[in-house]
């Protein structure tokens, strides 16, 4: 099976998930995992390189860095990833500090659901919590909004990392308040194109509506772990050029 082929530790070597895999402490994994996920668009080599830069900038101790961060430290920060700059990073660091000042885990902000069920509601909750920290309007574009039909690829990828109980050692599965059965895969160009070729998806846009359509198909194949098929769909497109 292609799922088993790509859902292996070899996958880590070429994927941004390798960055949080360098840490043992749950809060370190959560923080660097989120930041790397939020910059995970564009060339994968560049994403990993900038993930490396983030870990060094944070002294290889993300949680400690966040808790001791002060806006005056911004002048020492030199970080850019495409349209994500140091002012966006400053906002993310302050928002994380606000959250961890009252919560042991970032999981908490994904469990305060509004009146919207499922993962969609969890992402909306996360976004609203983050945006409660003072920020520039421009930074909001880095936090996808499924209420505006965004497929929220990067946040769904992050949730897969944190929630999915992966026997192969790729995803972390350190959050227990969210069931892997709830997860949505990170829909992108590769997964979308392959899903259409396999007649799992008809909608042409890679938006939240398409994601709902695709997840209905994947849940029929495995209702307990539907996002495991992300590995096969992505691998067939990115590596096998199917």
Residue 4: pLDDT band (50, 70, 90) is low
The confidence score (pLDDT) of residue 155 equals: 98
The confidence score (pLDDT) of residue 102 equals: 96
pLDDT per residue as tens digits for the range 16-65? 999 999 999 999 999 999 999 999 998 899 999 999 999 999 999 999 99
How many Å separate Cα 27 from the centre of its chain?
Answer: 15
For the entire predicted model, the pTM comes to 0.95
Domain count, the chain: 1
- What is the C-alpha separation between 30 and 107, in angstroms, rounded? 9
- What is the C-alpha separation between 51 and 32, in angstroms, rounded? 8
Q: What share of the chain is helix, strand, coil (3-state, %, to 5)?
A: 60, 0, 40
Which residue range(s) make up the domain with 212?
Answer: 2-238
């Amino acid at each position: 099976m292609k799922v088993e082929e790509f859902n292996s530790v070899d996958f880590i070597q070429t994927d941004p998930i390798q960055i949080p895999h360098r840490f043992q402490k749950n809060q370190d994994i959560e923080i660097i995992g989120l930041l790397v996920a939020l910059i995970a668009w564009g060339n994968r080599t560049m994403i990993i390189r900038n993930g490396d830069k983030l870990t060094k900038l944070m002294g290889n101790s993300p949680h400690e860095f966040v808790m001791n961060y002060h806006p005056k430290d911004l002048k020492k920060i030199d970080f850019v990833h495409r349209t994500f700059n140091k002012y966006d990073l400053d906002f993310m660091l302050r928002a994380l500090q606000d959250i961890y000042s009252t919560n042991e885990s970032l999981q908490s902000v994904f469990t305060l659901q509004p009146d919207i069920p499922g993962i969609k509601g969890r992402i909306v909750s996360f976004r609203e919590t983050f945006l409660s920290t003072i920020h520039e309007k421009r930074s909001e574009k880095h936090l996808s909004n499924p209420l505006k039909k965004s497929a929220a690829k990067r946040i769904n990828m992050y949730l897969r990392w944190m929630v999915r109980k992966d026997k192969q050692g790729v995803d972390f599965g350190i959050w227990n308040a969210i069931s892997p059965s709830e997860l949505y895969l990170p829909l992108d160009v590769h997964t979308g194109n392959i899903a259409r070729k396999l007649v799992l998806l008809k909608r042409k846009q890679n938006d939240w509506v398409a994601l709902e359509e695709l997840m209905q198909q994947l849940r029929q194949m495995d209702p307990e772990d539907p996002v495991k098929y992300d590995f096969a769909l992505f691998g067939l497109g990115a590596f096998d050029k199917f």
